[in-house]
Amino acid sequence: MKAKNELAIFGGSKSITSPVVEAWKKIDHNVKSAVCRLMDAGISTIPVGGGVIGEFEAAFASMTSSRYALAMNSGTSTLHSAYVSVGVGPGTEVIVPAYTWHATVTPVLHCAATPIFCDIDPRTLTISPEEIERKISPRTRAICVVHVWGNVCDMGAILRIADRHHLPVIEDCSHAHGASWQGRKVGSMGAVGCFSCQGPKAVSGGELGVVVTNDPDLYDKMVLLGHFGRKKIGSSKAILSVGDMSLGAKYRAHAWAVAMANEDLKRLPELNSKRGKNYQILCDGLRECPGLELIDTLPGVERGGYLEFKFKLSPEALKIATRERIVEAMHAEGIPLVADRYSDRNYTYGLLHAAPLFTTFDLKSIGGCFFNPEDSHAAHPIVHLPISEDITGRLVGMEAYVEVDTAVMANMAAGIRKVMERVEFL
């Protein structure tokens, strides 16, 4: 018999008695020394001959088995550059998932194009290939997929659809550094792979991004947009005639940020393996846990990056207690589980596909190049995406732990199970 007073929220003993501490320090001695070496050498911008930036780009290209990598100042600028490079412009559409960080989508507006939001696969939280195909129109210029929380999209189906419709795929790999599908690294399967290397990302320079591509002409267009002083390498005479000038978006990366990210990149396989083991301990402990569902990994997928560990609360559990109440009970147990931050309740603007910026906001009102002069309507209709709307309200998660005692990880799983087995008392 499960009893109410076993729960810590009602005075029972806590599952985790001291705060869960991440022993791994993102900014460690190696990161500090790498940055200090540049400071001591008086280097703060792109070094002659590429230096640390060239090293990072070569290592990143190699990690993703891509021909070219180009470091940028943010993941957002990598996405803008990628969209521009494949010809996203006024009057075109880009297919995007509704469940992602808004920076996947906002650069579409910089191209005066329209984001077309797609629903997700409820098993994996990644964009649904069937939805992509349903939403392709004569205006579609690109498909953007996001390997959300380090879980790789259904790339087999997505690449087949893209092939059939002759559309480029942009991979937003900001959560998934080092993840792969059938041995192919994320970023290398589409036309351009975009990575944020910001803050808590698996490869981080504080504020940084990097793109990878195998196509020298796409590379050149991205250089042209934002990288004064970089050599162009493709076959377009028009672009080569520009020399080393750029259009002035100034998307160049900071050398110190790159030095930081270089250190993470060296340790990426080790850090991914540690995150993977911790995630596995949680999943093993939560298999068939009442009221909680695991996020599926598709066959052939090796997760990477992670960013956060996610779980779904079941609709049945949420008929008995709210997500907020369940999270409160978890905290009482000492478990740092929180409501998913991409969910409606954590944003002022609701879910992405209903956010004012992408629906009711009049882009013409701010001037600039954000709107297609031929568009008769200022706003875009709100679409209904039942799976995203249902699932995101049910998600909970925690940070993707690297170095936490395995016993603590197992106790967290046991504590989550303890709460979920007693939801009726909440």
Ligand X SMILES: Cc1ncc(COP(=O)(O)O)c(C=O)c1O
- Dihedrals phi, psi of 2, to nearest 5 degrees: -85, 135
Tokens of residue 86, six digits: 């494949």
Q: Residue 86 carries which DSSP code?
A: T
Piece of 16-24, 101-109, 127-135, 376-384 that binds ligand X (CB under 6 A): 101-109
Nearer to ligand X, 84 or 321 (CB): 84
Of residues 95, 98, 103, 352, which one binds ligand X by CB under 6 A? 103
Q: Where does 64-194 have alpha helices with state H?
A: 75-85, 106-110, 129-135, 155-164
Q: Residue 252 carries which DSSP code?
A: P
Q: 103, 190 in Cβ contact below 8 A?
A: no
Q: 225, 93 in Cβ contact below 8 A?
A: no
Write down the least CB distance from residue 171 to ligand X, Å: 11
Of residues 81, 85, 104, 272, which one binds ligand X by CB under 6 A? 104
d(CA 384, CA 388): 9
Write down the least CB distance from residue 242 to ligand X, Å: 26
Among the listed residues 408, 425, 402, 426, the one whose alpha carbon sits nearest the alpha carbon of residue 14: 408
Q: Residue 47 carries which side chain, given as an amino acid letter? A: P
- Ranked by CB distance to ligand X, the top (closest) residue is 75
What string marks each residue from 16 to 55 as x (binds ligand X by CB under 6 A) or -? ----------------------------------------
Write down the least CB distance from residue 279 to ligand X, Å: 18
Write down the least CB distance from residue 241 to ligand X, Å: 31
Binding to ligand X by residue 209, rule CB under 6 A? yes
Among the listed residues 19, 69, 63, 71, the one whose alpha carbon sits nearest the alpha carbon of residue 45: 71
Of residues 60, 83, 101, 181, which one binds ligand X by CB under 6 A? 101
Tokens of residue 364, six digits: 């013409």
Radius of gyration of the chain from its Cα atoms, rounded to whole angstroms:
22
Q: Of 135, 185, 201, 221, which residue is the catalytic one?
A: 201
Beta strands per DSSP E along 232-297? 292-293
Residues 59-88, interacting with ligand X (CB under 6 A): 74-76
- 323-333 vs 406-420: helix crossing angle, rounded to 10: 140
In the sheet that holds 301-302, the strands lie side by side as 184-185, 180-181, 301-302
Q: Is 201 assigned a catalytic role?
A: yes
Binding to ligand X by residue 388, rule CB under 6 A? no
Piece of 18-26, 46-54, 95-103, 223-231 that binds ligand X (CB under 6 A): 95-103
Binding to ligand X by residue 92, rule CB under 6 A? no
Of residues 61, 144, 146, 402, which one binds ligand X by CB under 6 A? 146
Q: Residue 410 carries which DSSP code?
A: H
Nearer to ligand X, 83 or 101 (CB): 101
d(CA 98, CA 18): 37
d(CA 127, CA 148): 9
Nearer to ligand X, 131 or 172 (CB): 172
Nearer to ligand X, 175 or 394 (CB): 175
Tokens of residue 91, six digits: 């009057």
Piece of 126-134, 170-178, 217-225, 262-270 that binds ligand X (CB under 6 A): 170-178
Nearer to ligand X, 146 or 249 (CB): 146
Number of neighbours of residue 28 by Cβ within 10 angstroms: 12
Binding to ligand X by residue 124, rule CB under 6 A? no
Binding to ligand X by residue 198, rule CB under 6 A? yes
Nearer to ligand X, 75 or 291 (CB): 75
Binders of ligand X: how many residues, by CB under 6 A? 14
Write down the least CB distance from residue 12 to ligand X, Å: 37
- Dihedrals phi, psi of 251, to nearest 5 degrees: -100, 15
Of residues 81, 85, 140, 174, which one binds ligand X by CB under 6 A? 174
The catalytic residue positions are 201
Given the rule CB under 6 A, which residues bind ligand X?
Answer: 74-76, 100-101, 103-104, 146, 172, 174-175, 196, 198, 209
